[in-house]
Structure 1
Amino acid sequence: MNRRDFSLAATAAGLAPWLAAPAAHAQQAAFKAGADYLVLSRPAPVDAPAGKVEVVEFFSYNCPHCAEFEPMLEAWIPKLPPQAAFRRVPVPFVGNDVATKQRLYYTLEAMGKVDAYQAKIFQIIHKDRQPLNGDAAVLEWAAKQPDLGTKFAEVFKSFTVASKVKRATQLTDDYKVSGVPAMGVAGRWYVDGETARSMPRVLQVVEFLVGEAPKA
């Protein structure tokens, strides 16, 4: 797979049919390592509280597949079991301004604005077709948002955000992310649309792995 031109499956049907079907619970499905998900050769670091199973979504604002997946993901997150700790990680590929998009996400996270803007940014880029490329364009856009304003630029340029971008890039490498959207579980397992063969099935596999994590 080409990380910069990721296709979720080798089917002419494309992504839309997968997104049309709601993600069901795994219902004790016998998902298999190497067939439905991959086992990391070396565990990746996790950032979840003790007793929690970390679930990571790897994504890019520039990725049209991620934009299509977002509504399904947002509907699924509240249904995760209590032991799951979910977080997003913006990847260092897809497009020519990847560092900008990574900083955009972590600035919103630092300001507590991800829930308010995650779907909106996908809408702006992929449906409204508004250019939001590069630092200048992002800062200009943010300055026009009443609840972001000048504070956004300060956080966007901060050492804290730069550090999070660096860690995100490292985690993407640790999980050997080959395309997005993709999911990581417990620092041990990786699943994407190719391994699971559909995005609803990705979510089913993740649910299964969250249940398996305490046993492993």
Structure 2
Amino acid sequence: MFKRFARLRILALLGGLVLASACTAANNDAAAPYADGTQYVTMPGAPQRYSAEGKVEVVEVFSYGCVHCAHFAPMAEEMRKQLPAGVVFKMVPAAFSDQWVPYARAFYAAKKLGVLDATHLALFKAKFDEHYPISTLDELADFYASKGVDRAKFMSIASSDEVTAQIKHDGEMLQKWEVDGTPTIIVNGKYRSSQVKSLGELSAMTLWLANRELGTK
């Protein structure tokens, strides 16, 4: 059972991130396929949404350093395509350790450069299927350069104060959500995935929660 996919502790990003260079709508329907407190948990207090957009929000917390995230990535892509209108999908890179900070930086640099969609699955494939050494920011820069990205621009953006601040903000959100593993799904700032039995169940449950949340609006 996938209780936690990547058990890593969140760094103290809140005190100043050092530049670094798993992996409530009440539900009274007894026939519901997923149970609050088992496959997912309703987080206490007011919803903690990642952004101020008006749509229902599905957030995947992941890392390029997480092999389970690599396995989930194609499923997450198919899941994203199945989300109904009115639901927005977001990805948040978890910087749970010094080793994972470069992956978070790379994610935001790729996003800024407009190459995220083209490189997201390719990076997982290169690291975990083809076993390329992709761990440091320099190695990540080499990977993106091999995909036609300007290496100097990548390094400049990845190392920027703007990206540092974004990773700090993400760390604050992960603490609020009490995320301690990847991949984790957060639905509308209310629900956090928990003890799912498989990655397929994680995807199916996310679609179910998103549709249910959309129906309550």
* Partner residue, 2:18: none
CA displacement 1:125-154 (0-9 Å, x = unmatched):
111111112222223333444234322122
* Partner residue, 2:92: 89
How many Å apart are 1:30 and its aligned residue?
A: 4.0
TM-score of the superposition, structure 1-length normalised?
0.80
* Partner residue, 1:69: 72
* Partner residue, 1:33: 36
- Note if contact 1:44-1:187 (Cα within 8 Å) is conserved in structure 2: yes
CA distance in 1, matches of 2:52, 2:205: 20
Alignment of 1:49 with 2:53, yes or no, is yes
Alignment counterpart, residue 133 of structure 1, candidates 132, 135, 141? 135
- Note if contact 1:185-1:209 (Cα within 8 Å) is conserved in structure 2: yes
* Partner AA of 1:129 in structure 2: H
- Note if contact 1:54-1:187 (Cα within 8 Å) is conserved in structure 2: yes
* Partner AA of 1:4 in structure 2: L
* Partner AA of 1:210 in structure 2: A
How many Å apart are 1:96 and its aligned residue?
A: 4.7
Alignment of 1:170 with 2:172, yes or no, is yes
CA distance in 2, matches of 1:140, 1:204: 36
- Note if contact 1:60-1:66 (Cα within 8 Å) is conserved in structure 2: yes
Q: Which moved more, 1:57-66 or 1:38-47?
A: 38-47
CA distance in 2, matches of 1:159, 1:39: 34
Q: Which runs of 5+ in 2 are unaligned?
A: 10-21, 24-30
CA distance in 2, matches of 1:61, 1:35: 27
CA distance in 2, matches of 1:207, 1:145: 32
Q: 1:201 to 1:141 in 2, by over 3 A?
A: closer
CA displacement 1:146-174 (0-9 Å, x = unmatched):
23432212211222211211122122212
CA distance in 2, matches of 1:110, 1:197: 35
* Partner residue, 1:205: 205
Q: 1:145 to 1:211 in 2, by over 3 A?
A: closer
SS in 2 for 1:97: helix
* Residues 95-174 of structure 1 aligned to structure 2 (within 5 Å): 96-174=98-176
Q: 1:30 to 1:133 in 2, by over 3 A?
A: closer
Identity of aligned residues (%): 26
How many Å apart are 1:4 and its aligned residue?
A: 3.0
How many Å apart are 1:45 and its aligned residue?
A: 3.0
RMSD: 2.3
